[in-house]
């Protein structure tokens, strides 16, 4: 189940039934729950906790330092729930002490290729983030929201439940639940019925 070419720190905790592909690097302080599949060439740094049944595809960078100039190596973390799909080349960063010190990803989210989830973001459940969607730091996304390809969300913004960001929407303020937003800057374009 674990390819012998993977590099796994002795302090990492890997549950039963986890598959890990070749050339993947798993660092100290990483916990991976049961029945996860980690593809080849993935890098996971800790402290990071990954729940049950997640699928992480090749070349993803999970739990690395936050991209924040104020970060000075403080102990922060990334928490990922259950049954998420994280596709190729995604970057999910740990939190900062300027917030709660944690980036949280809920469960059953579909995170497509090249998505960036910055430090201190909090995502609920059943969210879809299409290719190249990007979140700046401290963004909150409620359950069942959909972010179209290349959608960008400015730091400290909140995306409500069932909101829909159309292709290349540039969000610089909160989007209420059930609102469809489009354009740069994003404006309401209807209701997600």
Residues 6 or more apart in contact with residue 145 via CB below 8 angstroms: 124, 127, 128, 159, 160, 161, 162, 163, 164, 165
| 21 given a catalytic annotation | no
| 83 given a catalytic annotation | no
Give the largest Cα separation in the chain, rounded. Answer: 52
- Enter the pTM of the model: 0.97
The pair of structure tokens assigned to 66 is 């936050």
**Residues 150-189 pLDDT 10s:** 999 999 999 999 999 999 999 999 999 999 999 999 999 9
Determine which one of 33, 51, 106, 137 is catalytic.
137
Distance from the Cα of residue 35 to its chain's centroid = 19
């Amino acid at each position: 189940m674990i390819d012998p070419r993977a590099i796994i720190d002795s302090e990492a905790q890997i549950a039963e039934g986890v598959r890990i592909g070749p050339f993947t690097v798993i660092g100290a302080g990483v916990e991976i729950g049961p029945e996860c599949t980690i593809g080849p060439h993935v890098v996971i740094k800790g402290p990071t906790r990954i729940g049950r049944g997640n699928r992480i595809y090749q070349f993803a960078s999970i739990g690395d330092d936050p991209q924040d100039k104020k970060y000075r190596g403080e102990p922060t973390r990334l928490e990922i729930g259950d049954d998420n799909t994280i596709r190729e080349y995604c970057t999910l960063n740990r939190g900062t002490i300027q917030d709660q010190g944690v980036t949280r990803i809920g469960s059953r989210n579909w995170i497509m290729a090249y998505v960036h989830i910055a430090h201190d973001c909090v995502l609920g459940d059943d969210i879809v983030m299409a290719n190249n969607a990007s979140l700046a730091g401290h963004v909150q996304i409620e359950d069942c929201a959909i972010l179209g390809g290349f959608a960008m969300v400015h730091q400290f913004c909140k995306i409500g439940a069932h909101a829909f960001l159309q292709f290349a929407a540039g969000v610089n303020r909160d989007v209420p639940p059930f609102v469809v937003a489009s354009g740069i800057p994003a404006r309401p374009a209807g209701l997600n019925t």
